[in-house]
Structure 1
Amino acid sequence: MTDIYFVKSDVHFTKTEKKIIEYIIASPQEFIRRSIGEVARCIGSSEPTVSRFARHCGYADFKELKNAVLQHVSEENPPAGKLSSTLGNESASTPDGFLRRQQYCIERTLEFLDDKILDNAADAILDAETIYVYAKGASVSMADLLKFRLNRFGRRVILLPAGSSELFEYMNFFTEKDLVILFGFQKTPKEASVLLDYQKKIHYKCIFFTSRLYHSLDHETVIPLYVFRGEPSEYHSMAAPAALLDALVVMLGAKLKETSSGQLDSLYRLKEHYKTEIPR
């Protein structure tokens, strides 16, 4: 077992202690943030067992083991390590701690960001005749922001109703040349599930902003954009989704180049012309 970076000596570990080892290797940053009681609950064990494990690894206590993991993470990935260190010492309930927590969420989102998938999403937006956007709850703010951004590029965007059978009135006009953008995050709304199912029949493309890793989705027709917003029990901010959304918008601007600049210049001239009637 000495090939594991946080194990100082070659000792025999119990079945439960091996579960702790697997947990640390798989989620070192989560391990750093958690208390000894939280780690015990995650693996279905007790605090004394976790404490004994730390001593078996060659450390005086759990805190010393956690510091060793933190040092390793900092050396392997300096930005994430610094954030983890800060998060281990600051409460997310304070303004400073909360903002640093959102910084961490953006860093985690970046870890899973696939430039090729983001590029596919941008191309899908540019190729679509009509873009339909579905969101509900707090995610509606992201739908509104996306519509605002895409309108500036001359895209035709329609916000779908959050619920009720009114959704079918729009679905009836979907074609394979359209694009549906969904916001689902932790759970997939039942309406979003219907839109994904209907996609199999009409074959329109979908972009899915989600906090779950949907490995089974067909990337040719459903493009998943993963966003990390924290643990399931935490308060979930829209900071990371907004950052990813704007990253997508920046990519669109780069692809459009002169066309994008011309449309924005036209918008500026329009505002200037009527600035006395409608002040900017």
Structure 2
Amino acid sequence: MKQQVLPILSSAYENLTKSEKNIADYISEHKEMIMRETVAEIAKHTGSSEITISRFCKKVGFSGLQELKIALAAELSSAIETPYQEINVKDNEEVVGRKIFRNITDGLQDTLKILDFSLISAAVDLLGKARRVAIYGFGNSATVCKDLETRFLRFGMAVQSFSDVHMQVTSAALLSREDVVIAVSHTGANKDILESLKIARKNGAKIIGITSYAQSELAHIADIALVGMGREVEYRSEAAASRLIHMAIGDIIYTCLAIKMPQEYQTNLQKMRAVIAQRRLK
């Protein structure tokens, strides 16, 4: 992930300990102040130890407090942070619509700050060489999986999405080192998906994970972890917001594949349009 402090803290938050969450909250709420504070002062204000501060910095991807401060300073100087647009019971339809669209936009921008495009490139290379592609996800994530399946079919790929646990493990058992799994999970902590991925990995398949949490088990087990985050507001779950963010990541992969496979893409697209046109009313 790119060194963007605030999006990284948000992405890692659910996987932090109570004391680490206190540190993350303090950094987020006192962004300007911590630039002038020492490790000892931050430890005092967060009720933790200097060692805990050091471990926290390393856990979220920095070598220490100084590197975190440098990244935060660059982040603050290059952008103006926009607040979450909370939805409340008195909002009318137009206000609700504006807030939802604003939060989707902000979530996409947050993701853009932390998305590692070298990992996108690696994912595209894996998929371009894969014998077949299996896509795993449940609930909201299953809609992302179906969208990916529909798009990747346009390349003539052997691709199928699975949202049933028994079908997932069956699929995983039949994979080989020539195959790729894309696993989509907001929390990255679904036991059934993780079990399917362990089976797939045992058979040599490569794993691409799409999740909202950089420190999740899915991010750790995946060969390539792509992290996208949605902004959580009242009346709208973060998991629902992440669905659109994860679809956007899928769109990036799809478009990059189309660029790398122009002949296959254009030929297949023309074939698809021809048969679909026959289904339309004259």
Q: TM-score, normalised by structure 1?
A: 0.65
Cα deviations across residues 186-234 of structure 1 (Å, max 9, x unaligned)?
2421122112322442121111001111499899961111011234986
Pair member with larger Rg: 1
- CA distance in 2: counterparts of 1:240 and 1:107, whole angstroms: 10
In structure 2, stretches of 5+ residues that fail to align are 1-22, 34-45, 48-72, 89-95
- CA distance in 2: counterparts of 1:137 and 1:202, whole angstroms: 26
The partner residue of 1:145 within 140, 144, 147 is 147
CA contact (8 A) 1:214 1:224 kept: no
CA contact (8 A) 1:206 1:221 kept: yes
In structure 1, stretches of 5+ residues that fail to align are 1-17, 29-42, 45-71
1:271, CA displacement in angstroms?
2.8
- CA distance in 1: counterparts of 2:175 and 2:274, whole angstroms: 34
- CA distance in 2: counterparts of 1:125 and 1:77, whole angstroms: 35
- CA distance in 2: counterparts of 1:162 and 1:26, whole angstroms: 44
What SS does the corresponding residue of 1:181 show, helix, strand or coil? strand
Q: Percent identity?
A: 18
1:210 aligned onto 2:205: no
The aligned residue for residue 222 of structure 1 is 223
The aligned residue for residue 170 of structure 2 is 169
CA contact (8 A) 1:132 1:159 kept: yes
Q: TM-score, normalised by structure 2?
A: 0.65
In structure 2, the CA distance between the partners of 1:232 and 1:196, relative to structure 1 (3 Å rule), is farther
Structural RMSD (CA): 3.4
Q: Quick one: which amino acid aligns to residue 100 of structure 2?
A: F
Cα deviations across residues 244-271 of structure 1 (Å, max 9, x unaligned)?
1111111111111222112111222233
The partner residue of 2:133 within 131, 143, 146 is 131
- CA distance in 1: counterparts of 2:187 and 2:233, whole angstroms: 7
- CA distance in 2: counterparts of 1:98 and 1:248, whole angstroms: 25
- CA distance in 2: counterparts of 1:187 and 1:27, whole angstroms: 32
- CA distance in 1: counterparts of 2:187 and 2:216, whole angstroms: 15
- CA distance in 2: counterparts of 1:150 and 1:134, whole angstroms: 14
Alignment size in residue pairs: 213
1:166, CA displacement in angstroms?
4.1
- CA distance in 2: counterparts of 1:262 and 1:27, whole angstroms: 55
CA contact (8 A) 1:203 1:221 kept: no
- CA distance in 2: counterparts of 1:95 and 1:20, whole angstroms: 29
1:263 aligned onto 2:264: no
The aligned residue for residue 184 of structure 2 is 183
In structure 2, the CA distance between the partners of 1:271 and 1:27, relative to structure 1 (3 Å rule), is farther
The partner residue of 1:91 within 68, 86, 95 is 86
- CA distance in 1: counterparts of 2:143 and 2:177, whole angstroms: 27
